[in-house]
Chains A and B, each alone.
Chain A
Amino acid sequence: AQSVTQLDSHVSVSEGTPVLLRCNYSSSYSPSLFWYVQHPNKGLQLLLKYTSAATLVKGINGFEAEFKKSETSFHLTKPSAHMSDAAEYFCVVTGSSNTGKLIFGQGTTLQVKP
């Protein structure tokens, strides 16, 4: 069965410092993996997507994620945090069926301090 675990429920960084949001997944086949961001009172927005092409995936707003099969990880990083990055981040893996079922992590709240 597919599953996804976001290792931190809350991450706090200072503006201008690097961001690391951790995600581990479990899958019995080669999954597609996503990171979505949700700002307050908004819907989710796609940051980036991995689908078995390059293992380092670049997304919007300077974010990137690296797929590491040996570690079953898909961590999200950004070299320098901006105040506008404060939001909830979701790691997502495709489910086992072909019915559009995605498995969402519980989310990581990113706080950016001035």
Chain B
Amino acid sequence: ETGVTQTPRHLVMGMTNKKSLKCEQHLGHNAMYWYKQSAKKPLELMFVYSLEERVENNSVPSRFSPECPNSSHLFLHLHTLQPEDSALYLCASSQGGVRGDSPLHFGNGTRLTVT
């Protein structure tokens, strides 16, 4: 039990599908993040939410749409993805808002394959 739970663990979808990734944190943190981890590349920050408001959108394509209904839940809605979007998508949370020195607590990720 990591304190940050992501579902599903694995997802295979076609380019015309619509799916959603879910993240739930049980740590009482007030900031949540989506990261993309591709092979041979550093982690890429996609979205940051603090107190349920988006504070950073790192120029992510519009085919990725985040949603943060409350401080414990974070979603990533996916539609018309491309094969290059195949990656491990990691959710994280932190306490103390989005100060850069707040340690991140990660979920185990969703392995996404776009066919």
Contact = CB atoms under 8 A, between A and B. Distances in A.
Most buried by B among A49, A102, A107: A102
B42 interface: yes
Interface residues of A, number: 25
Given A36-B104, A98-B99, A106-B40, 4 more contacts: A99-B48, A99-B56, A100-B98, A105-B42
Interface stretch (A14-22, A39-47, A63-71, A76-84): A39-47
Contacts of B48: 99-101
B104 A44 contact: yes
A101 B107 contact: no
A102 B99 CA distance: 10
Given A43-B2, A44-B90, A107-B42, A102 B100 contact: yes
B103 A34 contact: yes
30 contacts: A42-B108, A43-B6, A43-B90, A43-B106, A43-B108, A44-B92, A44-B106, A45-B106, A46-B103, A46-B105, A49-B101, A90-B43, A94-B100, A97-B100, A98-B98, A98-B99, A98-B100, A99-B55, A100-B31, A100-B45, A100-B48, A100-B50, A100-B55, A100-B97, A101-B48, A102-B104, A106-B40, A106-B41, A106-B42, A107-B42
Contacts of A102: 45, 100, 104
B101 A51 contact: yes
Most buried by B among A44, A49, A90, A103: A44
A26 B48 CA distance: 24
